[in-house]
Structure 1
Amino acid sequence: MWNQQLRYKIGSGYATTSASNSWVVDSNGQVTKVAEQATFEETPYYQVTQADRDPQMYARVYSRNDFPARRSGEVIVLSDYLDPQAKPRRSFSYTPGQRRVKLAPEFAFDTPVASQGGVTLFDELQMFSGSQTRFDYKLVGRKEMFIPYNAYKFYFDCKEEQQFLKNHANPACERWELHRVWVVEATLKPGQRHVYSKRTYYLDEDTFGIGLYDAWDRSGALYRAIFLSGVQLYDKDIPYNVKNVVYDFNKGMYALLNDAHKGGYRFFDKPYSEREMNPESIVARETQR
């Protein structure tokens, strides 16, 4: 699981940004856009030349909502650390109405991500995010299975309206390949709280990223399944995976998240300073917009 969280995903650059849309498709096939987001992500774990970075911080995400109107201008910042027991995730939120930044320790584990319509949890961001302390993890072994791979059409060619069918994403837009994967089972620890009792992750042997993921509720019923599609960015020499599809079997619905088909991606070859990235800078940055 640490291979998943520390995987090499930004290349020689310091950070990446994306402008993406997310949708929910209900049991009747009604498609509703739930979010437009601008997301900035950096991996300080690989920023070895940055003296102002906390050496324990391995990931930081800065996300701003631009849609729907009632959430426009809201910002969340998540910072994760190598020793979550000694230094748990530090989360901050900003709302335009209050014009102040607040600590948001609830942005972790099984709290729904409201900025994406509440269809995923904070520890499901990019398939897994944050602390591993609530589950016991077991490496089951390795096997071959089909996982999303080289999904260039899904990322760049399929128009927004072509991506959705009534009960699932359009297979004509997707691409799956036979790959070797590592299988990891996660079981909720006794005395811990979570909406899931068990999870199974399928990690691509080549990229160390999770391609597929299943989750069971407290009664043992299959609750959600998520797959993450990716592409190879040859100019950056990295696999890039952000676009995912979430199937909620309890509600009979699905969601397509982080589609940057229109907004695109951008990589930064120069780092931001820590002063520019700290929570106090959010107010100044957002009030200037």
Structure 2
Amino acid sequence: MRSRVAAGITMLALAGSGQAFSAVSVTEAEQLKQALTPVGAERGANTSGSIPEWTGGLSEPPAGWRRGQTEVNPFPDDEPLFVITANNMHLYEDKLSEGSLKMLEQYGPDFFMPVYQTRRTAAFPEHVYDKYYENALSAEVLDNGNGVRDTIMTSPFPIPENGLEVIWNHILRYRGEEVSFRSASATPQVDGSYNPVVNQYDYYFAYSKKGAELEDIDNKIFYLKTDTISPSTLAGTITLVHETLDQVRSPRLAWRYDAGSRRLRRSPNLAYETDLPNSSSLRSVDQKDMYNGAPNQYHWKLKGKREVFVPYNAYKLHDKSVRPDDVIRAGHINQELARYELHRVWVVEATRRTGIKHIYDRRVFYVDEDSWQILMSEEYDEDGNLWRVSEAHNISYYQVPVFWTTMEMTYDLKARRYYIDGLDQNYPAYNFNPGFRGKEFTASSARRAARH
């Protein structure tokens, strides 16, 4: 496996020529049943035992939870082992990201990091684990990283050899087959005041449907429709996205219905560095879900694995009794509700390609070994200064099961403001079986919905 990481240099050179990256051998893939977990994480504990052995994750819901309810905290008695502050962060520097160090320095003492016992809760259905193995034997990255082939359902490269494969693992990670939920986003002012924007989100993951074959999914990863509920000035705005698997063959398709003009228009620029709608220019479109879209604007370098304190098991933030006013504070969220744990993460550095225009010159991603979810990222400006820090606070959703974000935020260190998404405590639990059939996600269907 180590030799595959080293071989990444050669394979990246091949990528520049348009050749495919090769799949792993059967012998290597067998490690997913031995030293590695089915998703490719190290099965064993770390040397000190502070990161425990993976024993299957949270594959069954805790007692008392019922389908249709918001997820309850499976560890209600857990208390912080210690709290990292601006005053003691030097003691933990080797386990902190540059972004966390900067947040502690700039916003301390109000910004602190409560560190809890590490719980390796990430779990997925057995048929998804089977696909990890199959993908490892067949999946390839093509055309300078803009697409993949011979992969289905979940992350293609459980034994990655380079940063590009890791980022595709995040983009294609399993998030269920479909899901419907409502949540709010906000961009608090410097004093902490805010006006939430409420959206209805409907996802249909064609790529992840059980039994789906590549020829069945029309080159689509997922379909997404968002419908803005409030405020009244934005209500009725609809965005429709068709996210593609091979983005050379067919780039992302997007449409937007503006309630003011009462027209559904194509949105070809809803990608890359474009401002994320309703983010007050605090987040780019490709930061939604921590990173999305074609990775062709950057060179991707796999810097290896680190043990890092990262957001994890954020059940306090997800609790139905917690309201947005309990979460939002000036400069950053209420850190009393945050939970950090020590986990092994893949560290990937993205450096902007020569001649490419993007607001971020360099980006660093911290990718969970147990789920391929990006947990944190750092965004640097063209002068090399750390500009923004992003966090994804995650939980295990019991209905599937699936490990996914409950809340994301991007902190702008220059503006001293932030964007937050996932304020879902006022709304029903995520529904991972809404019964979508796919026809709800056509442009004509969105147009009809907009007129009602």
TM-score interval, normalised by the smaller of the two chains? over 0.9
Q: Shift of the alpha carbon at 1:159?
A: 2.6
Give the 3-state SS of the residue equivalent to 1:280 in structure 2.
helix
Aligned 1:6-85 pairs, distance under 5 A:
6-10=172-176, 14-27=177-190, 29-49=191-211, 54-85=217-248
1:42 maps to amino acid: Y
CA distance in 2 between counterparts of 1:3 and 1:82 reads: 12
CA distance in 2 between counterparts of 1:133 and 1:20 reads: 31
> Which of 268, 277, 286 is the matching residue for 1:114?
277
Q: Shift of the alpha carbon at 1:269?
A: 3.0
Tell me which moved more, 122-131 or 260-269.
260-269
1:97 pairs with 2:260: yes
RCO comparison, higher one (Cα < 8 Å, 6+): 1
TM-align CA RMSD: 1.8
* Structure 2 counterpart of 1:216: 380
- Which digits, 9 at most, give the CA deviation of each residue in 1:201-243, with x for residues without a partner? 0000001000000000112111111100011123322112141
- Contact preservation (8 Å) 1:126, 1:242: no
* Structure 1 counterpart of 2:313: 150
Relative to 1, partners in 2 of residues 1:164 and 1:98: Cα closer, same or farther, differing over 3 Å?
closer
2:328 maps to amino acid: F
1:41 maps to amino acid: Y
Paired-residue identity, %? 24
CA distance in 1 between counterparts of 2:436 and 2:329 reads: 41
2:265 maps to amino acid: K
* Structure 2 counterpart of 1:87: 250
CA distance in 2 between counterparts of 1:82 and 1:128 reads: 15
| Structure 1: gaps spanning 5 or more residues | none
* Structure 2 counterpart of 1:266: 430
- Contact preservation (8 Å) 1:142, 1:181: yes
Give the 3-state SS of the residue equivalent to 2:326 in structure 1.
helix
1:287 maps to amino acid: R
> Which of 122, 125, 129 is the matching residue for 2:288?
125
Q: Shift of the alpha carbon at 1:130?
A: 0.8
> Which of 368, 375, 397 is the matching residue for 1:204?
368
Larger Rg belongs to: 2
> Which of 158, 169, 189 is the matching residue for 1:3?
169
Bigger helix fraction: 2
CA distance in 2 between counterparts of 1:34 and 1:159 reads: 12
Bigger strand fraction: 1
* Structure 1 counterpart of 2:399: 235
* Structure 1 counterpart of 2:98: none
Give the 3-state SS of the residue equivalent to 1:126 in structure 2.
coil
Q: Shift of the alpha carbon at 1:287?
A: 1.7
TM-score for the superposition, normalised by structure 1: 0.92
Q: Shift of the alpha carbon at 1:9?
A: 1.4
2:238 maps to amino acid: V
Q: Shift of the alpha carbon at 1:184?
A: 0.3
1:143 maps to amino acid: R
CA distance in 2 between counterparts of 1:234 and 1:48 reads: 18
Relative to 1, partners in 2 of residues 1:257 and 1:194: Cα closer, same or farther, differing over 3 Å?
same
CA distance in 1 between counterparts of 2:439 and 2:204 reads: 15
Give the 3-state SS of the residue equivalent to 1:62 in structure 2.
strand
- Which digits, 9 at most, give the CA deviation of each residue in 1:107-133, with x for residues without a partner? 000001123443211100010011101
Q: Shift of the alpha carbon at 1:268?
A: 4.3
CA distance in 2 between counterparts of 1:265 and 1:89 reads: 29
CA distance in 2 between counterparts of 1:89 and 1:161 reads: 36
Q: Shift of the alpha carbon at 1:50?
A: 6.0
Aligned residues: 284
1:174 pairs with 2:338: yes
Aligned 1:184-203 pairs, distance under 5 A:
184-203=348-367
1:8 maps to amino acid: Y
Give the 3-state SS of the residue equivalent to 1:224 in structure 2.
strand
- Which digits, 9 at most, give the CA deviation of each residue in 1:118-174, with x for residues without a partner? 321110001001110111111110010011111101111433212123222111111
CA distance in 2 between counterparts of 1:249 and 1:167 reads: 9
Give the 3-state SS of the residue equivalent to 2:195 in structure 1.
strand
Q: Shift of the alpha carbon at 1:4?
A: 0.3
Tell me which moved more, 272-281 or 175-184.
272-281
Q: Shift of the alpha carbon at 1:256?
A: 1.9
| Structure 2: gaps spanning 5 or more residues | 1-166
- Contact preservation (8 Å) 1:99, 1:283: no
Tell me which moved more, 274-283 or 213-222.
274-283
CA distance in 2 between counterparts of 1:66 and 1:216 reads: 34
